[in-house]
Amino acid sequence: MAEARDTVVLAYSGGLDTSCILVWLKEQGYAVIAFLVYIQDVCREFVEEFIWPAVQANALYEDRYLLGTALARPCIARRLVQVAKEQGARYIAHGATGKGNDQVRFELSCYALCPSIKVIAPWRMPEFYQRFPGRRELMEYAQKHGIPVPVTPKAPWSMDENLMHISYEAGILENPKNRAPLDLYTKTCDPTTSPDIPDELEIEFEKGVPVKVTNTRNGVTHRSALELFVYLNDIAGKHGVGRIDIVENRFVGMKSRGIYETPAGTILYHAHLDIEAFTMDREVRKIKQGLSLKFSELVYNGFWYSPECEFLQHCIARSQQAVAGTVRVSVFKGQVYILGRESPHSLYNEELVSMDVQGDYEPADATGFININALRLKEYHRLQSKVSTKQDE
């Protein structure tokens, strides 16, 4: 039992879990500060300091997940710690389950930023999870205490939303063969009923970061990070872009099924991938791809504030110095199509690659190039032929 003077800052989302946890913490004797992320304060830093590094990295976990929740946790944790220090609170609490990734992300971030902080994780406390074995018991508790929650027995899935994405888990989604209900999605419309006319956008990058977006259909332009990102969310959502339904490997060791909507992030992933390939040396990009893979794993697993993640961010940012230019994309029926690109740092030499102009290239040189590369293959298969002959004898 906490003393009355003990103060806890709760990462409060307004969902079923944290709404019930707020009341439960008060029952335990804590003075609770419900921490909410204020849009005008935190969203801009979320875009500029968390989403933009992920865009530069082409961060993608297990080839599909754009890390919407994973990127938000260190941003929220940073403010949680700040509020706790300002309010003299010794404790921070969260509503992450004992089986998921978010408990790791929140707590590693908080401990890195404030080693003396103490974390209360109700879903790992027997007195809590034995009282509330599942979401049904939480809903009954909420009803008993008059707690308004957005979850109903007919739609019991767990949702986590931020500026970048929304995720859906639990309930009927826990069976991987079940198709998600059509009314589940909230950030994107059904691609089959989306507009029959695409939106065409010009997205300008500097150092791998989007700095301007223009809709060529109506001339609408946005330059600030937050306005640009919100606008891309609107356009992508209108055309049903950014939906995925995946089974992924959680850091704690189990597979989970998640459904995600990441509208703007999906557009920017494709656009940045294109301008990077256009402006970056081939061998540098191979190394950078390896760094991006490691960066994505670190972010997913909650190590944003680790020395290795800090090092990788510096390396990736260095690789983006020449990643500048404009990519034209079409957004239509759930897809993002690349239409063209241009850059002052382009490594594309039209004359060199042309099939109509020889340029500064001697075709005869390719003969030696092919012969040298064929040497290894010839020797390998010569040896294999000898081995096969001996085995047949």
- Residue numbers annotated as active site: 17, 73, 102, 158
In the chain, the DSSP E strands lie at 7-11, 31-35, 91-93, 118-120, 158-161, 166-169, 199-206, 209-215, 221-222, 243-249, 255-261, 325-332, 335-342
Query: Under DSSP, is residue 377 helix (H, G, I), strand (E, B) or coil?
Result: helix
**DSSP state for residue 306 in the 8-state scheme:** S
Is 69 exposed, middle or buried (CB count within 10 Å of its CB: 0-12, 13-18, 19+)? buried
Strand order in the sheet with 243-249: 158-161, 166-169, 255-261, 243-249
Listed in sequence order, the residues at least 6 apart from 240 whose beta carbon sits closer than 8 Å to its beta carbon are 188, 189, 190, 191, 192, 194, 333, 334
Longest dimension (CA), the chain: 87
* Chain centre to alpha carbon of residue 192: 25
CA distance 130 to 124: 10
DSSP per position, 158-218: EEEE-SS-EEEESGGGGSTTSPPPTT--SSS--GGGS-SS-EEEEEEEETTEEEEEEETTT
Q: Which two tokens stand for residue 41?
A: 């304060």
The closest of 128, 163, 112 to 20, measured between CA atoms, is 128
CA distance 304 to 73: 9
Strand order in the sheet with 7-11: 31-35, 7-11, 91-93, 118-120
